Amino acid sequence: MRNPANAALDAVDRRLMVATQAGLPRVSRPYDLLAAELGIDAAEVLTRLQRMLDSGVIRRIGAVPNHYAIGYTANGMSVWNVDDRRVDALGAQIGALDFVTHCYRRPRRMPQWPYNLFAMVHGPDRAEVEAKAARIALLLGDACAAHEVLYSTEILKKTGLRISG
Amino acid sequence: MHDAAALDDVDRRLINAMQGDFPLVAEPYRAVAEMLGLSETELLTRLDSLLARRVLTRFGPMFQIERAGGAFVLAAMVVADEDLARVSDQVNAFPEVAHNYRREHEFNMWFVLATATREGIPDAIARIEQATGLPVFAFPKEREYFVGMKLRA
């Protein structure tokens, strides 16, 4: 289990975050390059990255795909009103479906918002997203009282996360 | 918009293999390349190309700001169509607003707030409500079941 108490970051960790927030250098020895930039040795870069992975400050080191460029232009946020006693077991199953990219439990906002399970579904068109939502509905069965799929129609703003050094 | 068909099987395997667990070794690209049966040069060339074509938006550490003392929250508003341009400008003017999507629903504006401290979230919400004159509904994640993408390769 990840321990948030381990997550205390010092100034060097923060410099490492700032140095890598645009991405990891794409050279043969990327950690050596970061070490040279920060004025520490490469072993320390690796130790610090490992520590941040262990504490969860870094979720993972990897690639972030752009759904639109991959051809998944229909982006549906499916939201489900699922029995609180069963939502965690079912949420794990839905998160494991190959077409679900994000899956979370969130609070209801009654009376306006009865949905507690959010699953982002991507597809080349809405018909495909609807078909995938139908598979989720099947999996949830009688644990789900109602659902909707909210399609995005416009990106009003998209800036990455920015941390100041 | 790029043609989805421009991705070949190697690209798809590369995207699947590079979404996590990037090795913490001196020559990590070589290690991944060997796993995929590629040369290091080919892997780096493909990775550069995928980023340049925006098939990938980023390659590197994904920080969980919550673990560093900060916070992320999904929030939504109900905005009348005639107010959408004004409210969108007001909301987007906040540096704490990272993404903002218009969606087809009564709850038609969905954005992500990112703040350096946990207290920053209620503070930003209060300021957005004041600026727009509309309520903001916060949907903090209570449990995460999955984040990622699985491509058929």
Place of tokens 């490992």: A50
Structural domain containing residue B80: 65-139
Question: Looking at the domain assignment, is residue A65 inside a domain?
Answer: no
Per-residue three-class SS string for B54-118: CCEEEEEEEECHHHHCCEEEEEEECCCHHHHHHHHHHHHCCCCEEEEEEECCCCCEEEEEEECCC
Q: Are residues B75 and B110 in the same domain?
A: yes
- The gap from C-alpha B42 to its chain's centroid, in whole angstroms, comes to 27
Pick the range with the lowest mean pLDDT from A124-128, A151-155, B79-83, B109-113: A151-155
CATH number of the domain where residue A26 is located: 1.10.10
Q: Which helix (H) or strand (E) holds B40?
A: helix B40-52
Q: Are residues B73 and B48 in the same domain?
A: no
Closest chain A residue to the Cα of B59, Cα to Cα: A63
Domain total in chain A: 2
Domain total in chain B: 2
Question: Looking at the domain assignment, is residue A105 inside a domain?
Answer: yes
Q: Tell me what percent of the residues of chain A surpass a pLDDT of 90.
A: 67
What pLDDT, on a 0 to 100 scale, did the predictor assign at position A5?
A: 43
Give B126's pLDDT tier (boundaries 50, 70, 90). Answer: very high
> Is it the case that residue A151 has pLDDT exceeding 60?
yes
Q: Are residues A51 and A81 in the same domain?
A: no
- The whole-angstrom separation of Cα B29 and Cα B10 is 15
Q: Are residues A146 and A78 in the same domain?
A: yes
Structural domain containing residue A142: 74-151
Q: Are residues B80 and B107 in the same domain?
A: yes
Nearest to B145 among A59, A95, A113 (CB): A95
Closest chain A residue to the Cα of B151, Cα to Cα: A98
Q: Are residues A86 and A147 in the same domain?
A: yes
Cα–Cα distances in angstroms (integers) from residue A160 to residues B76, B95, B96, B100, B122, in the given order:
19, 11, 11, 11, 21
How close A133 comes to chain B (CA, Å)? 16
CATH number of the domain where residue A95 is located: 3.30.70.920
pLDDT tens digits for range A88-115? 999 999 999 988 989 999 999 999 999 9
Question: Looking at the domain assignment, is residue B93 inside a domain?
Answer: yes
| Averaged pLDDT for residues B119-138 | 97
What pLDDT, on a 0 to 100 scale, did the predictor assign at position A122?
A: 86
Q: Are residues B82 and B110 in the same domain?
A: yes
Question: Looking at the domain assignment, is residue A165 inside a domain?
Answer: no
Torsion of CA A82, A83, A86, A90, to 10 degrees: -10
Q: Are residues B45 and B71 in the same domain?
A: no
Question: Looking at the domain assignment, is residue B3 inside a domain?
Answer: no
The single-letter DSSP state of residue A2 is -
- A148: closest CA among B114, B110, B127, B105? B105
Q: Are residues A33 and A82 in the same domain?
A: no
- B110: closest CA among B130, B87, B127? B87
Q: Are residues A15 and A78 in the same domain?
A: no
Asked if A58 and B20 touch (Cβ cutoff 8 Å), the reply is no
Q: Are residues B112 and B75 in the same domain?
A: yes
- The whole-angstrom separation of Cα A73 and Cα B5 is 14
pLDDT tens digits for range A20-44? 988 999 999 999 999 999 999 999 9
Q: Are residues A24 and A85 in the same domain?
A: no
Closest chain B residue to the Cα of A33, Cα to Cα: B26
How close B123 comes to chain A (CA, Å)? 18
Strand pairing report for A100-105 and A117-123: antiparallel
Q: Are residues B69 and B45 in the same domain?
A: no
Question: Looking at the domain assignment, is residue B120 inside a domain?
Answer: yes
The token duo for B116 is 């350096």
> Is it the case that residue A160 has pLDDT exceeding 80?
no
Q: Which helix (H) or strand (E) holds A15?
A: helix A11-20
The token duo for A118 is 């959010």
How close B131 comes to chain A (CA, Å)? 17
Question: Looking at the domain assignment, is residue B151 inside a domain?
Answer: no
The token duo for B113 is 């707030």
Give A159's pLDDT tier (boundaries 50, 70, 90). Answer: low
- The whole-angstrom separation of Cα B119 and Cα B124 is 9
Q: Tell me the residue type at A64.
A: V
The residues, ordered by sequence, that sit 6+ positions from A117 with a Cβ below 8 Å of its Cβ are: A79, A80, A81, A82, A87, A90, A91, A94, A103, A104, A105, A106
Q: Are residues A25 and A83 in the same domain?
A: no
CATH number of the domain where residue B123 is located: 3.30.70.3460
> Does the interface ipTM go beyond 0.95?
no
Q: Based on the number of CB atoms within 10 Å of its own CB, is B14 exposed (0-12), middle (13-18) or buried (19 or more)?
A: buried
Question: Looking at the domain assignment, is residue A69 inside a domain?
Answer: no
Asked if B8 and B147 touch (Cβ cutoff 8 Å), the reply is no
| Averaged pLDDT for residues B128-148 | 93
The residues, ordered by sequence, that sit 6+ positions from A146 with a Cβ below 8 Å of its Cβ are: A80, A81, A114, A115
Q: Are residues A127 and A92 in the same domain?
A: yes
Q: Are residues A107 and A144 in the same domain?
A: yes
Could you tell me how many residues make up chain B?
A: 153
The token duo for A26 is 């794409």
Question: Looking at the domain assignment, is residue B58 inside a domain?
Answer: no
Give the residue, A44 or B67, on which the prediction is more confident. A44
Q: Does B150 contact A77 at a Cβ distance shorter than 8 Å? A: no
